[in-house]
């Protein structure tokens, strides 16, 4: 069954693929960075992040020596900051062990920090023409529908099975094109969250889910356990143009990033003002802001916010607290998107918004 789709998909891809900056060459560094960025983000959203990252760090060697705060700032807005930390760890090894060029070896690529089967397969096949599969969510969805397979695609055993089946049909030196064709088909035609565009599919004649009307039932994903909910009170402390931020701990969620000061639970205005005074600050006004929510992989933050104007932001009892002008924060300090709603209240732009 699967062997029948290879030539048709390659021909379709060569005529219909999107023009993307990381596809302009077979640069393994570009492919690696783009694939890590694309793991949780849509292609069009990734494009400006990718271009900014590559402009600032055009070579693997540049990533290896980049100061952490600059690295996190370049990643701001993409989330999953451990991914860019792993990129740097891998870059250091690539420089030390491979002279600054990603190895043309699937197993050696998998041995690098943050690079799993999929990313290794993408780099190995697209950059180096090695006949190995690159199975991501798009490819799993295409497979599940073509084969009408109702296995839970979130299980590693299912992914391993699919990788093995695609490995058997890899078309030699055109494996990179085939892998990209599968990804493109899943992104543009055999789409998630809705009806697939079967009338545009170059391999529709071989699709068992289309033949039996089961496409909307596939792929199967078993529900994961519910996220833990945390209530937080977020404080926007201001005196004129300056705003208070503080650095998060070096380990744990959003490690090493900067945040707007926040407190566990929902606090009353009296409790908030008391806390502000404990920071050796003089509150002049407190104004409720919008409620906001931010969802991480396993945790959900439900937030209430307050704008607090203070007499002067000069020194605080908290040594981790920093007072800076809003434009300085935008430029120098990586702030996670979890605080987007409150940044907007003071016209502070985060992530890609700064470059529009």
Residue predicted with more confidence, 32 or 313: 32
Q: Which of 106, 145, 186 is nearest to 2 (CA)?
A: 145
DSSP string covering 191-248:
-SSS---GGG-TTGGG-HHHHHT-GGG-SB-PPPPPPEEEEEEEEEEEETTEEEEEEP
Task: Enumerate residues 6+ apart whose C-beta is below 8 A from 350.
Answer: 76, 77, 330, 335, 336, 337, 339, 340, 343
How is residue 162 written in tokens? 């699919």
Strand partners, 294: 301
Helix (H, G, I), strand (E, B) or coil at 308: strand
Mean pLDDT of 149-176: 97
- pLDDT value of position 285: 96
- Residue 7 predicted with pLDDT over 90: yes
**pLDDT tens readout for residues 280-298:** 999 999 999 999 999 998 8
Confidence bin at 354 (pLDDT 50/70/90): low
19: CB partners within 8 A, 6+ apart: none
Q: Which CATH superfamily is domain 2-217 in?
A: Hypothetical protein; domain 2 (1.10.340.30)
> In the predicted model, is pLDDT for residue 141 greater than 70?
yes
- Average pLDDT of the chain is 94
Return d(Cα 89, Cα 83) in angstroms, integer. Answer: 10
Given this model, what pLDDT does residue 212 score? Answer: 97
Just list the catalytic residues.
35
**CA 331 from centroid of its chain's CA atoms:** 21
The 10s digit of each residue's pLDDT in 102-133 is: 999 999 999 999 999 999 999 999 999 999 99
pLDDT recorded at residue 241? 82
* Percent of all residues in the chain with a pLDDT value above 90, rounded to a whole number: 87
Q: What is the pLDDT of residues 235-253, one digit of tens each?
A: 999 998 899 999 999 899 9
pLDDT reported for residue 313: 76
CA 116 distance to own-chain centroid = 15
Q: What's the whole-number mean pLDDT along residues 157-174?
A: 97
Give me the residue spans of the domains in the chain: 2-217, 228-355
What is the fold, at CATH topology level, of the domain defined by 228-355? Answer: Nucleoside Triphosphate Pyrophosphohydrolase (3.90.79)
pLDDT band at 353 (very low <50, low <70, confident <90, very high): low
Helix pair angle (6-16, 175-188), 10° resolution: 70
Q: What is the mean pLDDT of residues 163-181?
A: 97
Task: Map tokens 């999953």 to a residue.
Answer: 80
Q: In which band, very low, low, confident or very high, does the pLDDT at 185 lie, cut at 50, 70 and 90?
A: very high
Q: How far apart are CA 71 and CA 65, in angstroms?
A: 10
Statement: residue 351 has pLDDT above 90: no
């Amino acid at each position: 069954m699967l062997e029948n789709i290879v030539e048709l998909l390659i021909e379709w891809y060569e005529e219909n693929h999107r023009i993307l900056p990381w596809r302009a060459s077979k640069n393994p560094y570009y492919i690696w960075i783009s694939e890590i960025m694309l793991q949780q983000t849509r292609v069009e959203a990734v494009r400006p992040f990718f271009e900014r990252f590559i402009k600032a760090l055009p070579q693997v060697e540049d990533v290896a020596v980049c100061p952490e705060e600059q690295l996190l700032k370049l990643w701001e807005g993409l989330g999953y900051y451990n991914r860019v930390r792993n990129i740097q760890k891998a870059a250091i090894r690539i420089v030390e062990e491979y002279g600054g060029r990603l190895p043309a070896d699937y197993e050696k690529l998998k041995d690098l920090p943050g690079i799993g089967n999929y990313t290794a397969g993408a780099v190995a096949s697209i950059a180096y023409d090695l006949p190995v599969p690159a199975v991501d969510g798009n490819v799993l969805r295409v497979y599940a529908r073509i084969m009408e397979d109702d296995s839970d695609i979130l299980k590693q055993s299912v992914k391993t099975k699919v990788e093995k089946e695609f490995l058997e049909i890899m078309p030699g030196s055109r494996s990179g094109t085939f892998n990209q064709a599968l990804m493109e088909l899943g992104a543009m035609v055999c789409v998630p969250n809705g009806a697939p565009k079967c009338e545009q599919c170059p391999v529709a004649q071989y699709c068992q889910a289309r033949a039996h009307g089961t496409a909307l039932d596939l792929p199967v994903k078993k529900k994961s356990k519910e996220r833990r909910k945390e209530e937080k009170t977020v404080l926007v402390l201001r005196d004129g143009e300056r705003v208070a931020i503080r650095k998060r701990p070096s380990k744990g969620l959003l490690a090493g990033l900067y945040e707007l000061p926040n407190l566990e639970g929902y606090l009353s205005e009296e409790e908030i003002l008391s806390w502000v005074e404990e920071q050796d600050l003089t509150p002049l006004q407190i104004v409720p802001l919008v409620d906001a929510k931010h969802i991480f992989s396993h945790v959900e933050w439900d937030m209430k916010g307050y704008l607090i104007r203070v007499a002067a932001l000069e020194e605080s009892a908290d040594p981790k607290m920093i007072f800076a002008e809003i434009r300085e924060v935008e430029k120098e300090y990586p702030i996670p998107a979890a605080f987007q709603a409150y940044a907007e209240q003071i016209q502070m732009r985060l992530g890609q918004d700064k470059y529009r």
